[in-house]
Structure 1
Amino acid sequence: MIDFLHDAGLANCRLGLEMNHLPAQTAEKFKKRLPQARIVDSNRAVDWAWLIKSDLEISVIKEAAAIADAAMVRATEVIRADVREPDVVAEIVATRVRGAKGKASTGFTPIGPLFLCSSPRTRVAHYPWSQGTIRHGSQINLEVTGVRHG
Protein backbone atom coordinates (compact mmCIF):
# COMPACT_ATOMS: atom_id res chain seq x y z
CA MET A 1 0.00 0.00 0.00
CA ILE A 2 2.79 2.41 0.89
CA ASP A 3 4.60 1.68 -2.37
CA PHE A 4 1.35 2.24 -4.27
CA LEU A 5 0.89 5.64 -2.61
CA HIS A 6 4.43 6.62 -3.61
CA ASP A 7 3.98 5.32 -7.18
CA ALA A 8 0.65 7.14 -7.54
CA GLY A 9 2.18 10.43 -6.38
CA LEU A 10 0.10 10.47 -3.21
CA ALA A 11 2.91 10.22 -0.66
CA ASN A 12 2.40 13.81 0.50
CA CYS A 13 -1.40 13.83 0.74
CA ARG A 14 -3.75 13.51 3.67
CA LEU A 15 -4.14 9.82 4.57
CA GLY A 16 -6.84 8.39 6.82
CA LEU A 17 -5.96 5.20 8.70
CA GLU A 18 -8.19 3.14 10.96
CA MET A 19 -5.84 3.31 13.93
CA ASN A 20 -8.02 1.06 16.11
CA HIS A 21 -7.68 -1.74 13.55
CA LEU A 22 -3.98 -1.42 12.75
CA PRO A 23 -1.13 -2.90 14.77
CA ALA A 24 1.01 -0.09 16.22
CA GLN A 25 4.04 -1.20 14.18
CA THR A 26 2.04 -0.91 10.95
CA ALA A 27 0.92 2.63 11.79
CA GLU A 28 4.55 3.51 12.58
CA LYS A 29 5.64 2.07 9.24
CA PHE A 30 3.18 4.38 7.45
CA LYS A 31 4.47 7.40 9.39
CA LYS A 32 8.12 6.51 8.76
CA ARG A 33 7.80 5.72 5.05
CA LEU A 34 5.39 8.59 4.33
CA PRO A 35 6.97 11.48 6.28
CA GLN A 36 5.34 14.14 4.08
CA ALA A 37 1.82 12.67 4.41
CA ARG A 38 -0.64 14.11 6.90
CA ILE A 39 -1.86 10.95 8.63
CA VAL A 40 -5.16 11.23 10.48
CA ASP A 41 -7.20 8.72 12.46
CA SER A 42 -10.27 7.84 10.40
CA ASN A 43 -11.89 5.31 12.75
CA ARG A 44 -15.01 7.35 13.27
CA ALA A 45 -15.53 8.00 9.55
CA VAL A 46 -15.70 4.30 8.77
CA ASP A 47 -17.75 3.49 11.89
CA TRP A 48 -20.39 6.04 10.90
CA ALA A 49 -20.61 4.62 7.39
CA TRP A 50 -21.23 1.16 8.85
CA LEU A 51 -24.11 2.40 11.02
CA ILE A 52 -26.40 3.24 8.12
CA LYS A 53 -27.90 0.12 6.56
CA SER A 54 -29.78 -0.08 3.30
CA ASP A 55 -32.87 -2.25 2.91
CA LEU A 56 -30.70 -4.79 1.05
CA GLU A 57 -28.15 -4.91 3.88
CA ILE A 58 -30.89 -5.43 6.47
CA SER A 59 -32.38 -8.21 4.37
CA VAL A 60 -29.01 -9.97 4.01
CA ILE A 61 -28.32 -9.62 7.75
CA LYS A 62 -31.66 -11.31 8.48
CA GLU A 63 -30.81 -14.10 6.03
CA ALA A 64 -27.44 -14.64 7.73
CA ALA A 65 -29.14 -14.72 11.13
CA ALA A 66 -31.58 -17.37 9.90
CA ILE A 67 -28.63 -19.49 8.73
CA ALA A 68 -26.95 -19.14 12.13
CA ASP A 69 -30.21 -20.09 13.85
CA ALA A 70 -30.58 -23.19 11.67
CA ALA A 71 -26.99 -24.20 12.42
CA MET A 72 -27.55 -23.79 16.16
CA VAL A 73 -30.73 -25.90 16.01
CA ARG A 74 -28.78 -28.60 14.17
CA ALA A 75 -26.05 -28.42 16.81
CA THR A 76 -28.60 -29.09 19.56
CA GLU A 77 -29.78 -32.13 17.61
CA VAL A 78 -26.34 -33.72 17.18
CA ILE A 79 -24.38 -32.78 20.31
CA ARG A 80 -24.53 -35.86 22.47
CA ALA A 81 -22.18 -37.90 24.65
CA ASP A 82 -19.88 -40.22 22.68
CA VAL A 83 -20.14 -38.13 19.47
CA ARG A 84 -16.84 -36.89 18.01
CA GLU A 85 -16.38 -33.13 17.83
CA PRO A 86 -15.51 -33.27 14.08
CA ASP A 87 -18.77 -35.10 13.38
CA VAL A 88 -20.72 -32.37 15.18
CA VAL A 89 -18.84 -29.69 13.23
CA ALA A 90 -19.52 -31.48 9.93
CA GLU A 91 -23.26 -31.41 10.61
CA ILE A 92 -23.17 -27.72 11.56
CA VAL A 93 -21.13 -26.83 8.46
CA ALA A 94 -23.48 -28.77 6.18
CA THR A 95 -26.44 -26.91 7.62
CA ARG A 96 -24.73 -23.56 7.20
CA VAL A 97 -23.76 -24.25 3.58
CA ARG A 98 -27.31 -25.35 2.73
CA GLY A 99 -28.64 -22.21 4.40
CA ALA A 100 -32.12 -21.46 5.64
CA LYS A 101 -35.45 -20.27 4.29
CA GLY A 102 -34.33 -20.99 0.73
CA LYS A 103 -31.15 -18.90 1.01
CA ALA A 104 -27.83 -20.76 0.91
CA SER A 105 -24.60 -19.43 2.37
CA THR A 106 -22.56 -17.42 -0.11
CA GLY A 107 -19.10 -16.01 -0.51
CA PHE A 108 -15.53 -17.17 -0.40
CA THR A 109 -15.98 -18.49 3.14
CA PRO A 110 -19.54 -19.77 3.24
CA ILE A 111 -19.02 -21.32 6.63
CA GLY A 112 -17.42 -18.30 8.32
CA PRO A 113 -15.94 -18.67 11.80
CA LEU A 114 -16.90 -21.81 13.71
CA PHE A 115 -15.57 -22.78 17.10
CA LEU A 116 -16.55 -25.82 19.14
CA CYS A 117 -14.81 -27.27 22.13
CA SER A 118 -15.91 -29.47 24.99
CA SER A 119 -14.60 -30.07 28.50
CA PRO A 120 -11.84 -29.99 29.60
CA ARG A 121 -10.68 -27.45 26.93
CA THR A 122 -13.42 -24.89 27.58
CA ARG A 123 -11.26 -22.43 29.53
CA VAL A 124 -9.95 -20.95 26.26
CA ALA A 125 -12.18 -18.73 24.10
CA HIS A 126 -12.47 -19.22 20.33
CA TYR A 127 -10.94 -22.68 20.45
CA PRO A 128 -11.27 -24.96 17.40
CA TRP A 129 -12.67 -28.46 17.60
CA SER A 130 -10.44 -31.45 18.26
CA GLN A 131 -10.54 -35.12 17.36
CA GLY A 132 -12.00 -35.72 20.81
CA THR A 133 -15.32 -37.21 21.78
CA ILE A 134 -17.94 -35.35 23.77
CA ARG A 135 -18.29 -36.82 27.23
CA HIS A 136 -21.45 -37.05 29.32
CA GLY A 137 -21.84 -33.83 31.32
CA SER A 138 -19.32 -31.88 29.22
CA GLN A 139 -19.55 -28.15 28.94
CA ILE A 140 -19.73 -27.16 25.26
CA ASN A 141 -18.51 -23.83 23.91
CA LEU A 142 -19.98 -23.18 20.48
CA GLU A 143 -19.68 -20.10 18.27
CA VAL A 144 -21.70 -20.18 15.06
CA THR A 145 -22.29 -17.59 12.35
CA GLY A 146 -24.32 -17.39 9.18
CA VAL A 147 -22.81 -15.93 6.01
CA ARG A 148 -24.72 -14.19 3.20
CA HIS A 149 -23.63 -11.62 0.67
CA GLY A 150 -26.13 -9.46 -1.17
Structure 2
Amino acid sequence: MKNLTRTSSSTVQTIVSTAIIAAMYVAVTMVIQPIAYGPIQVRLSEMFNYLVLFKRRYIWGVTLGVFLSNFMSPTWTLDVPIGTVSTLLVLFLVLWLAKFTSSLKLQFVIVGVVFALSMFTVAGELYFAFKTPFWFSYLTVGVGEALSMAIGGILIYFVDRKIDIGRFRI
Protein backbone atom coordinates (compact mmCIF):
# COMPACT_ATOMS: atom_id res chain seq x y z
CA MET A 1 0.00 0.00 0.00
CA LYS A 2 2.89 2.38 0.77
CA ASN A 3 4.30 1.92 -2.76
CA LEU A 4 0.94 2.76 -4.32
CA THR A 5 0.71 5.93 -2.23
CA ARG A 6 4.24 6.95 -3.23
CA THR A 7 3.50 6.30 -6.89
CA SER A 8 0.23 8.24 -6.73
CA SER A 9 1.94 11.12 -4.94
CA SER A 10 4.73 11.17 -7.53
CA THR A 11 2.21 11.14 -10.38
CA VAL A 12 0.22 13.98 -8.83
CA GLN A 13 3.44 15.98 -8.29
CA THR A 14 4.42 15.48 -11.93
CA ILE A 15 0.99 16.56 -13.18
CA VAL A 16 0.95 19.61 -10.91
CA SER A 17 4.50 20.68 -11.82
CA THR A 18 3.69 20.24 -15.52
CA ALA A 19 0.57 22.38 -15.18
CA ILE A 20 2.34 25.11 -13.18
CA ILE A 21 5.23 25.40 -15.61
CA ALA A 22 2.88 25.40 -18.62
CA ALA A 23 0.74 28.08 -16.96
CA MET A 24 3.79 30.23 -16.21
CA TYR A 25 4.99 29.90 -19.82
CA VAL A 26 1.55 30.87 -21.18
CA ALA A 27 1.15 33.76 -18.70
CA VAL A 28 4.51 35.32 -19.56
CA THR A 29 3.83 34.88 -23.28
CA MET A 30 0.43 36.56 -22.96
CA VAL A 31 1.87 39.50 -21.02
CA ILE A 32 4.39 40.15 -23.79
CA GLN A 33 2.11 39.04 -26.64
CA PRO A 34 2.85 41.99 -28.93
CA ILE A 35 6.52 40.99 -29.10
CA ALA A 36 6.10 37.22 -28.65
CA TYR A 37 5.24 36.41 -32.27
CA GLY A 38 6.27 37.44 -35.77
CA PRO A 39 9.48 38.10 -37.68
CA ILE A 40 10.90 40.21 -34.86
CA GLN A 41 10.13 38.57 -31.54
CA VAL A 42 11.44 38.42 -28.02
CA ARG A 43 9.57 35.67 -26.19
CA LEU A 44 10.83 35.96 -22.61
CA SER A 45 8.83 32.86 -21.65
CA GLU A 46 11.60 30.91 -23.38
CA MET A 47 13.52 31.32 -20.11
CA PHE A 48 11.56 28.32 -18.83
CA ASN A 49 13.61 26.13 -21.21
CA TYR A 50 16.38 26.31 -18.60
CA LEU A 51 14.21 24.48 -16.05
CA VAL A 52 14.95 21.13 -17.72
CA LEU A 53 18.53 21.46 -16.46
CA PHE A 54 17.19 21.20 -12.91
CA LYS A 55 14.57 18.47 -13.36
CA ARG A 56 14.19 16.45 -16.51
CA ARG A 57 10.42 16.06 -15.99
CA TYR A 58 9.98 19.81 -16.48
CA ILE A 59 10.35 19.14 -20.20
CA TRP A 60 6.64 18.31 -20.35
CA GLY A 61 5.52 21.55 -18.69
CA VAL A 62 7.66 23.67 -20.99
CA THR A 63 6.45 21.78 -24.06
CA LEU A 64 2.81 22.08 -23.00
CA GLY A 65 3.31 25.81 -22.39
CA VAL A 66 4.72 26.22 -25.90
CA PHE A 67 1.86 24.17 -27.36
CA LEU A 68 -0.81 26.31 -25.66
CA SER A 69 0.95 29.64 -26.34
CA ASN A 70 1.36 28.85 -30.01
CA PHE A 71 -2.42 28.86 -30.47
CA MET A 72 -2.19 32.66 -30.10
CA SER A 73 0.37 32.92 -32.90
CA PRO A 74 -0.66 34.44 -36.26
CA THR A 75 0.90 31.32 -37.81
CA TRP A 76 -0.75 28.99 -35.29
CA THR A 77 -1.61 26.30 -37.86
CA LEU A 78 2.11 25.85 -38.44
CA ASP A 79 3.36 27.01 -35.05
CA VAL A 80 1.33 24.60 -32.93
CA PRO A 81 2.63 21.37 -34.49
CA ILE A 82 6.05 22.52 -35.73
CA GLY A 83 6.93 24.83 -32.83
CA THR A 84 5.82 22.30 -30.24
CA VAL A 85 7.69 19.36 -31.75
CA SER A 86 10.74 21.54 -32.37
CA THR A 87 10.78 22.66 -28.73
CA LEU A 88 10.46 19.09 -27.48
CA LEU A 89 13.27 17.84 -29.74
CA VAL A 90 15.57 20.76 -28.87
CA LEU A 91 14.91 20.23 -25.14
CA PHE A 92 15.96 16.60 -25.49
CA LEU A 93 19.02 17.70 -27.50
CA VAL A 94 20.14 20.23 -24.87
CA LEU A 95 19.63 17.67 -22.11
CA TRP A 96 21.91 15.30 -23.98
CA LEU A 97 24.51 18.01 -24.67
CA ALA A 98 24.39 19.25 -21.06
CA LYS A 99 25.50 15.80 -19.86
CA PHE A 100 28.97 16.52 -21.20
CA THR A 101 29.68 19.21 -18.62
CA SER A 102 29.00 19.61 -14.92
CA SER A 103 29.24 23.40 -15.09
CA LEU A 104 25.78 24.93 -14.72
CA LYS A 105 26.98 28.13 -16.40
CA LEU A 106 28.20 26.19 -19.43
CA GLN A 107 24.94 24.23 -19.52
CA PHE A 108 23.08 27.55 -19.59
CA VAL A 109 25.24 28.70 -22.51
CA ILE A 110 24.51 25.45 -24.36
CA VAL A 111 20.75 25.85 -23.87
CA GLY A 112 20.80 29.49 -24.96
CA VAL A 113 22.94 28.95 -28.06
CA VAL A 114 21.13 25.81 -29.23
CA PHE A 115 17.71 27.43 -28.85
CA ALA A 116 18.83 30.54 -30.72
CA LEU A 117 20.19 28.37 -33.56
CA SER A 118 16.97 26.31 -33.64
CA MET A 119 14.95 29.32 -34.78
CA PHE A 120 15.21 28.19 -38.40
CA THR A 121 11.88 26.46 -37.75
CA VAL A 122 10.18 29.78 -36.95
CA ALA A 123 11.87 31.41 -39.95
CA GLY A 124 10.52 28.58 -42.11
CA GLU A 125 7.01 29.07 -40.74
CA LEU A 126 7.18 32.81 -41.45
CA TYR A 127 8.45 32.13 -44.96
CA PHE A 128 5.62 29.72 -45.75
CA ALA A 129 2.90 31.80 -44.06
CA PHE A 130 3.90 35.35 -45.05
CA LYS A 131 6.66 34.93 -47.64
CA THR A 132 9.11 36.81 -45.40
CA PRO A 133 12.72 36.34 -46.50
CA PHE A 134 13.93 33.17 -44.76
CA TRP A 135 17.47 34.29 -43.90
CA PHE A 136 16.40 37.70 -42.65
CA SER A 137 13.69 36.10 -40.50
CA TYR A 138 16.17 33.52 -39.23
CA LEU A 139 18.52 36.35 -38.23
CA THR A 140 15.87 38.49 -36.52
CA VAL A 141 14.10 35.63 -34.75
CA GLY A 142 17.46 34.08 -33.79
CA VAL A 143 18.69 37.37 -32.31
CA GLY A 144 15.38 37.76 -30.46
CA GLU A 145 15.69 34.24 -29.10
CA ALA A 146 19.29 34.85 -28.07
CA LEU A 147 18.18 38.00 -26.25
CA SER A 148 15.28 36.14 -24.59
CA MET A 149 17.54 33.32 -23.53
CA ALA A 150 20.23 35.69 -22.22
CA ILE A 151 17.79 37.72 -20.12
CA GLY A 152 15.89 34.60 -19.05
CA GLY A 153 19.09 32.71 -18.32
CA ILE A 154 20.28 35.43 -15.98
CA LEU A 155 16.89 35.50 -14.22
CA ILE A 156 16.66 31.72 -13.83
CA TYR A 157 20.30 31.46 -12.74
CA PHE A 158 19.81 34.00 -9.94
CA VAL A 159 16.46 32.52 -8.91
CA ASP A 160 18.21 29.15 -8.61
CA ARG A 161 20.92 30.69 -6.43
CA LYS A 162 18.21 31.98 -4.07
CA ILE A 163 15.80 29.01 -3.92
CA ASP A 164 17.67 26.02 -5.44
CA ILE A 165 15.25 25.12 -8.24
CA GLY A 166 16.54 21.54 -8.38
CA ARG A 167 15.22 20.90 -4.89
CA PHE A 168 12.09 23.01 -5.28
CA ARG A 169 9.07 20.76 -4.98
CA ILE A 170 6.16 21.73 -7.20
Shorter-chain TM range is 0.3 to 0.5
Bigger fraction of residues in strand: 1
Higher relative contact order (CA 8 A, sep 6+): 2
TM-score, scaled to structure 1: 0.36
